[in-house]
Every structure is written in structure tokens, then in C-alpha cells.
Amino acid sequence: MNPTCKKRLGAIRLETMKVVAQEEIAPAIFEIVLEGEMVEAMRAGQFLHLRVPDDAHLLRRPISISSIDKVNKQCHLIYRIEGAGTAVFSTLSQGDTLDVMGPQGNGFDLSDLDEQSQVLLVGGGIGVPPLLEVAKELHARGVKVVTVFGFANKDAVILETELAQYGQVFVTTDDGSYGIKGNVSVVINDLDNQFDAVYSCGAPGMMKYINQTFYDHPRAYLSLESRMACGMGACYACVLKVPESETVSQRVCEDGPVFRTGTVVL
């Protein structure tokens, strides 16, 4: 561990990570590979809080970990350019560095699943990346993985080939330009499998659908987004309400970003 590039603030880990590679994998969607000691601590479903490498943006930007390679101490992040911060990230190239806080959040619970188990992954748009590590780890344990992904159109489709290595993949597009026309519910409503666990990440509409469809499922998980400031549980900028409570709330950055269905108000 290099003490000059890493320090701990209580439980918060900061590190200057090295950019190993970056490429545009779809229009305005980039995959960046970072290297550093922090990778050892990463789990599927966690996120990194990235400082924008300029003087104009004070707030860090949260981006999910898409895949983890502990042997080479590398992780992949996939992000879409939304505004100024992500536009700056897209200019980085091999040899540059990023100031990273993380890994943040709870991550997906992948425990107690084996070759007898069957899981459903549901992703939408730029919510697909964190599910790649889930598929990789569960497939390695012999778990049967069924994936349903929804995108706006053919140009936005990402990670289909990568996910197909780990199980059956259904792709839907809103405009029917690729795969099955419609949203993920078109496929999911017709599946009669009994899933031991459901992992999902996507736009608010998709998360509401999964929350309702699997409301009472004991192991159905939503990875949620919220505007963040500190990203470490201190400022309460990212809270969600809990059903039937006016006083209790959950912080997406610290208590999430992964929540069981039925446990937060969407």
C-alpha cells in the first residue's frame, strides 16, 4: 500500500487510482479501467465516488463498479456522459489518475446461492453495468443466471455479449430496433421460473415495476440512484422514505444503493 496516494478518514478510503484504459463502447457511453489497491475491498453493486479532475466541480460523481479483477487490482466502470463531470471523465486516457473515494455502499448480497440456484438479473440502460459482476461471480459458482435487459434503442445496447457468457440473455428495446420490442416487463411477465434471487438496476420506472412485481420476494434487490453530495452518509442529501414511516429514512449512499424490494418508497 502506497501511503502517499492513500489515506483513511475513519472508514472512508481515498486513493489516487491509475487509468489503465478508456474507450467509447456506445455513443456517449465510456468504459474506463482503473487500477489500485482499493480493488481488493470491492464487492459487486458498490460504487466509487470520483472527484472530477478539474477545479470547477466540487462534488464527486458516483459511478457503479461494473467488474472487478482482484488479481490485477483493476476494476471497470461504465458511464454515460450526462453533464460536465462525466464529460471531463471521458477525456482521461491511459496514465492519467483519478481521485477515488470508495468502495462506497453495501453492494448486492450474493450469499447462499449455488448450483441448485436460479437468479434473475434485470437491467435498464446505464443501469446494466453493475449486474455484470453479479453474473460473473454467480456463474462461477454454478448458479443459473437469466438476464433481461431493456434499452431505448439498438445504439444504446451494451454488454450483451459479455452477459451471454454467463447465461441466457433477453434484450428489449423501446422502439423495437433490436431484440424484443417493449420494456423488460414484456419478457418478465412471461417467465414462469422460480427465482431464488432477483437483482436489478435501472431507471426509476423500471425500479418501480420490479419493486411491485417482486414486492414480497425474500431476495429481490433494487440498486437505486439519488443525487449525492458527500457520498459517505453524513449530509442526508440522498435519503429515501421507508414505507409506513414518517420519521425513518434510508441513505442511498450508505444504507444502499442496494435495497430489498418493499423496504423503501419509490
Ligand X SMILES: Cc1cc2nc3c(=O)[nH]c(=O)nc-3n(C[C@H](O)[C@H](O)[C@H](O)COP(=O)(O)OP(=O)(O)OC[C@H]3O[C@@H](n4cnc5c(N)ncnc54)[C@H](O)[C@@H]3O)c2cc1C
Q: Which does 80 bind (CB under 5 to 8 A by kind): ligand X, ligand FES, none?
A: ligand X
CA distances from 60 to 64, 78, 187 (A): 13, 16, 36
Query: Taking CB under 6 A as the rule, does residue 251 contact ligand FES?
Result: yes
Q: Which residues pair with 213 in a beta bridge?
A: none
Give the separation between CA 173 and CA 169, rounded to whole angstroms: 13
**Alpha helices (H) in the chain, listed in sequence order:** 84-89, 129-140, 160-164, 185-188, 204-213
Q: Which does 248 bind (CB under 5 to 8 A by kind): ligand X, ligand FES, none?
A: none
Q: Which stretch binds ligand X (CB under 6 A): 10-18, 54-62, 179-187, 242-250?
A: 54-62
**CB closer to ligand FES out of 25 and 234:** 234
Q: Which residues pair with 181 in a beta bridge?
A: 173
> Which of 16, 21, 51, 86: binder of ligand X (CB under 6 A)?
86
Alpha carbon of residue 52 to chain centroid: 19
Site string for ligand FES, 202-241 (x = CB under 6 A): --------------------------xxxx-xxxxxx---
Site string for ligand X, 108-137 (x = CB under 6 A): ------------------x--x--------
What is the phi/psi pair of residue 125, to 5°? 55, -125
CA distances from 188 to 110, 124, 144, 153, 194 (A): 21, 13, 16, 19, 12
Residue 31 host element (H or E) = strand 29-35
Q: Which does 26 bind (CB under 5 to 8 A by kind): ligand X, ligand FES, none?
A: none
Q: Which residues pair with 74 in a beta bridge?
A: 35, 69
Q: Which does 33 bind (CB under 5 to 8 A by kind): ligand FES, ligand X, none?
A: none
**CB closer to ligand FES out of 215 and 236:** 236
Query: Taking CB under 6 A as the rule, does residue 83 contact ligand X?
Result: yes
Please report, as ranges, the residues that interact with ligand X according to CB under 6 A.
47, 59, 61-64, 78-80, 82-86, 126, 129, 225-228, 257
Residues that bind ligand FES (CB under 6 A): 228-231, 233-238, 251, 253
